[in-house]
Amino acid sequence: MHTRTRITAAAFIAAGALLVTGCAGGSSAAPVDVTATPEYSGTLSILTKFAGDPLQPYFEDLATEYTALHPDVSFDLIQETDQSVKDKTKTLTASGALPDIYFSFTGNWADNFIRGGLAADLTDVIGPDTDWGQTFGPASLGAFETDGKYYGVPLYNNGKFMGYNKAIFDEAGVSVPTSFEELIDSCPTIRAAGYEPIAFGNKDGWPGLHYLQQLFAYNVPADVLEADFDPETATLDDPGYLKALEQFKTLVDTCTDTGDGTNGVLYTTAQEALAGGKAAMYYQEILEFDTVTAEGNALTTDNFGFFALPVPAGAQGDPDAIEGAPEGYLVNAKSPRAALAIDFLKFVTDKTNAQTLAAPPYGQPSTVVGAVSAETSSNAVVDGISQVNEASQIVAWLDMVTVPEVADAWLAGGEAIISGSATPDEVLTSVRDASESAE
């Protein structure tokens, strides 16, 4: 899922400096020939974000199948969790040891590797006019596009929704809320029925940012929000930011049982509260839909439902926006096995393997056209991707879409709102200061 470990701006900037100077494979290297015929021998190294159940077997199985086709090819799989992939990527970058293929978020995260010359230009093999490129949804493919060139292989798409337990809603006598205010009003009733209204764990900082980014999209006009992601054009003076921060605080105080202690709770603990029938709701990604209803959980597929975070009354932004982004893989621009890496990624994203990825137990909605369907995926995943595709816009994750200094300020600000150690005005001032210093 789209979870991510906190990384300080200073640490990432230090790694970024290595990218620019070429110490970790910078732009001074001659470009690899991505159209070359692969040599089916040697060891292919891959950094994934698929460690742990139920995801870990996916790449392991693919590697075994590929080796069966090409016996002289072996694999070095570096399988990281949602919480460790950032730090692992930073370490490998700083040491000049990035693998042949490595996981990447979209937005500013991928741009750092592209600008530093560490991501191979794949336009000739995956551009929208190529046979391979045409197998992906255009929006997903375009998420890794920079200046007309295509650098990434989008593996799965994603979006953020409020998952809920239908049986608990029925028991408490509440309906799916149609406004943010109705959501808040439902929480005391759910608590009175003996359940935690919304399970929430913010120990890693990013879960709070998911709420904030969706609320920003609702409360701040789209063109203003887009300009404010870039320190060169940011003003962060729209009144919608303060409204969104206040709404977030209201939700934490009214709807979560951990309150200001949320900053010490893991997101997986919150996920388990919904899966175990202890909480009525949990704000989650499509990637988690099949996880919370996995076999053995108290929450069954029949009792699982989801809805977009409801729009607050009087919001001045885009009511039809959904927060989310595809995630995928880059090829190391200095890899002597780039052609083999591309061949393997074509294998990973062929229709059969894409359908396997989209089906339970993985439930990762593949970006390959036609892979997500009623025949391959759970109803919830199919419906979730349909809503993402129908959204007026997809607003990228707040800690990925802006520069590290500003992302860190938002992370600290979200935690401060939860704990009550800073007011919305104070948080916004700190983010403005970080944005101005980053220009």
pLDDT digits (tens, 9 = 90+) for 163-198: 999 999 999 999 999 999 999 999 999 999 999 999
For the cut 60, the answer to whether the pLDDT of residue 250 exceeds it is yes
pLDDT confidence tier of residue 389, bands split at 50, 70 and 90: confident
Q: Are 100 and 341 in contact (CB under 8 A)?
A: yes
165-178 burial: b if 16+ Cβ within 10 Å, else e: bebbbeebebeebe
How far is the CA of 41 from the CAs of 3, 31, 160, 334, in angstroms?
34, 21, 41, 18
Does pTM surpass 0.85? no
Q: How many CA atoms lie within 13 A of 97 on its CB side?
A: 7
| Phi, psi (deg, nearest 5) at residue 162 | -90, 110
* pLDDT tens per residue, range 223-232: 999 999 999 9
pLDDT of residue 17: 40
Average pLDDT, the chain: 91
pLDDT of residue 261: 84
Place of tokens 């709807």: 255
How far is the CA of 180 from the CAs of 103, 186, 228, 245, 419, in angstroms?
35, 10, 24, 13, 22
- Cβ burial of 131 (10 Å; 0-12, 13-18, 19+) is exposed
Mean pLDDT of 321-342: 96
For the cut 90, the answer to whether the pLDDT of residue 260 exceeds it is no
pLDDT of residue 128: 95
pLDDT of residue 327: 93
Mean pLDDT of 198-216: 96
At CB < 8 A and 24+ separation, what contacts does 16-21 make?
Answer: 16/112, 16/116, 18/93, 18/94, 18/96, 18/116, 19/93, 19/112, 19/113, 19/115, 19/116, 19/117, 19/118, 20/115, 20/116
* CA 391-4-17 angle, 5° bins: 110
For the cut 80, the answer to whether the pLDDT of residue 112 exceeds it is yes
Q: What is the DSSP string of 275-329?
A: HTTSEEEEEEEGGGHHHHT-TT-SS-TTTEEEEPPPPPTT--S-TT-EE---EEE
pLDDT > 70: percent of the chain: 93
pLDDT of residue 52: 87
pLDDT of residue 81: 83
Beta-carbon contacts of 272 under 8 Å, excluding residues fewer than 6 positions away, are: none
pLDDT of residue 30: 64
pLDDT of residue 280: 98
| Phi, psi (deg, nearest 5) at residue 94 | -65, -30
pLDDT of residue 439: 67
pLDDT of residue 108: 85
How far is the CA of 217 from the CAs of 78, 222, 343, in angstroms?
35, 7, 39
How far is the CA of 201 from the CAs of 51, 182, 294, 381, in angstroms?
21, 22, 20, 23
pLDDT > 90: percent of the chain: 80
* pLDDT tens per residue, range 66-93: 999 999 999 999 999 876 898 899 999 9
- Cβ burial of 295 (10 Å; 0-12, 13-18, 19+) is exposed
d(CA 354, CA 140): 14
Q: How many CA atoms lie within 13 A of 263 on its CB side?
A: 13
pLDDT of residue 139: 83
Number of continuous H segments (helices) and E segments (strands) in the chain: 19, 13
First and final C-alpha spacing in the chain = 31
For the cut 50, the answer to whether the pLDDT of residue 3 exceeds it is no
pLDDT of residue 400: 86
* pLDDT tens per residue, range 262-304: 999 999 999 999 999 999 999 999 989 999 999 999 999 999 9
For the cut 70, the answer to whether the pLDDT of residue 367 exceeds it is yes
pLDDT confidence tier of residue 248, bands split at 50, 70 and 90: very high
89-100 burial: b if 16+ Cβ within 10 Å, else e: bbebbbeeebbb
How far is the CA of 44 from the CAs of 54, 196, 301, 404, in angstroms?
23, 46, 38, 31
pLDDT of residue 82: 74
What are the respective helix, strand and coil percentages of the chain, to the nearest 5?
45, 15, 40
For the cut 50, the answer to whether the pLDDT of residue 8 exceeds it is no
d(CA 247, CA 180): 9
pLDDT of residue 18: 41
For the cut 70, the answer to whether the pLDDT of residue 423 exceeds it is yes
Beta-carbon contacts of 336 under 8 Å, excluding residues fewer than 6 positions away, are: none
Domains of the chain: 9-157+326-371 (3.40.190.10), 160-322+398-438 (3.40.190.10)
How far is the CA of 282 from the CAs of 79, 95, 174, 225, 305, in angstroms?
26, 38, 16, 26, 11
Find out whether the peptide bond into 361 is cis, omega within 30 degrees of 0. yes
pLDDT of residue 20: 39
* pLDDT tens per residue, range 13-31: 444 444 433 333 444 456 7
pLDDT of residue 324: 92
d(CA 118, CA 94): 12
Consecutive H or E run containing 252: helix 239-255
Mean pLDDT of 246-254: 97
Q: At what angle do helices 404-419 and 9-21 cross, to 10 degrees?
A: 170
For the cut 70, the answer to whether the pLDDT of residue 118 exceeds it is yes
Q: At what angle do helices 108-115 and 9-21 cross, to 10 degrees?
A: 30
